[in-house]
Structure 1
Amino acid sequence: MSSSAKKVKKAVLRRLSVFSGIGLSGIDRQTSWPAVSPSSSRFDQWRYEQPVDITNPLAIRRTLDRRVTFDSVWHSRHKTEDDFAEITDDADANKKTERKTRCSEFSLLTSSISENDTHNHSYVNTIFKNAELNHNDVFVSAFGKKGTNAGDYQDAKHITCFSNGELLITDLINDRLQICSNVTSSVTIFSPDEIKQPWATAVTTDGNIAVTSCKERCVKLFNIKGEFIDEFGQKYFVRPTGLAVDNYGNFIVCDSVIDKVSMFDKNGTFIRFLGNSFIQEECFNSPRYVCVSITGEIIVSDCGHHKIKVFDSDGNFIRSFGSFGNGDRQLKCPYGVSTNKYGDIFVSDHYNSRISMFSREGVFIRHVVTSEHGLVHPQGLTISHDLYMYISHGHLKANEILVYKLSDALDYEYSNIIHYV
């Protein structure tokens, strides 16, 4: 490094503004960055070295108490040793058993996170102001951090919401699924040998759990206890990603390498490919996620084409919307897709770092959450029947889950929607 470059570097370092929020409540500005630990990523180390503009809303962070969910939404519980269960394979007994494990770092519903632990979280340099959310949408909570312990994530790709309010979250790098309970304040780790690089999950009509395994190139079925049942699709997949189950029990599976979206019946028998590879509007380029709307339409995020494509329940193409860009009606590599009870379509606009809302016809309505609220590269997205929205996000890999309560108001004034079906 030349002497002039060293002088510039020293001048920049002298101008760095550092923040912390120790002992403050609500939304506070930082006066010092937490120390960078050996486990911090190179991106985190770079970020901590950058100057912070105090006029920039992204320089405001949530204090630790914002990680604790509100009593009005979740039931407060005290964490105990019995709150954590890991599904393991007992070789001696040749059957699945539950092993209770202690994990002092998991804090889905408890405030066990210390000030020294904040550097592991992607929210350190973000803002969450409910006043900035439109239509009475409310930020509820955030949980998870980078790691391998219970409640940690290395790459949370997908979120499934059970009817009882529990969340099933896939972790591609940790090779496991985690069920987070809002009733018992616990997390159950599914890590049988059969799960390798899980991307997405879906609940079958029989109440079992279907998982796309990227490494083994198939869809695997487990019961709710984590016991392996069956698998299918090895002849059709190279890298299965998004997964959904329709009202008839059929499986819809994306493959981001061969650019196909396949439909299988409830027994795992191949039915058809969606779309037409010879028609530009119907072909795919790296499809990542899929969901089924309340009306039975199949909605696919066509990541490479920066579009959302909609098919009927038989797999016939209906419409598409979106184009490359950062405008209101544009997308940059859409990831997770989900719908609410009105049929509105919500999209994780990955590289625009926002959640965008469209009508079922593809008419843009509004951006629900953006980078101004601290959202960074969203991936998994799901909306529960009672309008709670769950998002997995993170700078390089998704390691935090955000929870929002969406407004139940219709958005007629923001589009030319005439009615909902």
Structure 2
Amino acid sequence: MRSRRDEMPLSVIQVIGNSVIGGAERHLLDLVQGLGRSGAEVEVICPRPGPLTQHLAKLGVPVQCIEMVYPWPGDEYVLDSKAVQALAVVFGEKRPDVVHSHLYPAHLHASLAAQEVGIPAIVHTAHTIIVRPGDVLLSHTTAARTIAVSQAAARQLEEAGVPPERIEVIYNGVGPEHFEDESEEIERTRAALNLGPGPTIGTVARLSREKGIDILLRAMQRVVPSFPGVTVLVTGDGPQAAELHQLADELGLHETVRFLSARTDIRVLNRLLDAFVLPSREEACPMALLEAMAAGRAAVATRVGGTPEVVTDPIEGWLVPPDDPEALAQGLLLLLENPTRRAEMGTAAQRKVARQFTLDRMVHETLSFYQRLLGDAPRPP
């Protein structure tokens, strides 16, 4: 007898532990749309209303809110039984084939709820290289499987105690829009930002310590004397925003650095750049870097986490040590002083992303992973 799973479209509930839009959230948006194009029925659960829920609503994706994020000192989170039960009620009513969580608070609650209800495939994507005790515990107490977005993230999980057979490496991917060069829109944005004739450097990041924007500011203090007309575009919001604004002023960079807050036109902003910079202290598989590379931008990035799996030094850009303003400045100066080499690196970067880091590849591999898990799961009568 054919089962519902044979006859009905694949049903997936994505659960994410944030409602703003950063790298993990852009990944989710891309995945949701890609799965939808493949014929899957996809719904999303967020902790609360915010930019992400608004974007999902515009896309016509069913979304609801269940609060599940309860921070605890030491970068930990509290397990809330009411959130687990609320999620279990939804999963029990919807009976999806797959529950897929993103970010630790969602994993903590959704994986337990899915296990309680008996969801056939339970998946979590590890978007960072931070592994908490709860990640390891859930890998042993539930059927959850973890997607690591880089080999570096997979190694961290395995070294912490997650069984290797429960880890699948699927790299992030970017959509075709990031490869497109829409000249009119680019020139409109250039005019709106009133960019001068000097070079433009940019980064896209959450304004928090792990992203190393303070190191970028200190590096720029060393770059400006050689390129006094340089402009730095810092796109993103976060808890360090006020502190970083103050640091830029203290370093005399108020005319050099533009803080743009969060924006939805990243693909256009990347086309305005002469070079992209990623000064992070930790990364798993940086979406912002992939998007800039897809736009043909050479990068200076820190040699952390999965970043060396994205950028090969010195083919697509330069890799420098983290927390080293001098090394970061030297990398930026090398790019700015050598436009021919910079263009060659940008071309190589774009080709690499087109070859290895596309959205279609990421969606296909994720869908295949779901189907593999469902093939191993007990089938209903």
TM > 0.5 fold call = no
Tell me which interval the TM-score lies in, with the shorter structure as reference length: under 0.3
Q: TM-score, length-normalised on structure 2? A: 0.26
Bigger share in helix: 2
What is the TM-score normalised by the length of structure 1?
0.24
Q: Which has the higher contact order (CA 8 A, sep 6+)?
A: 2
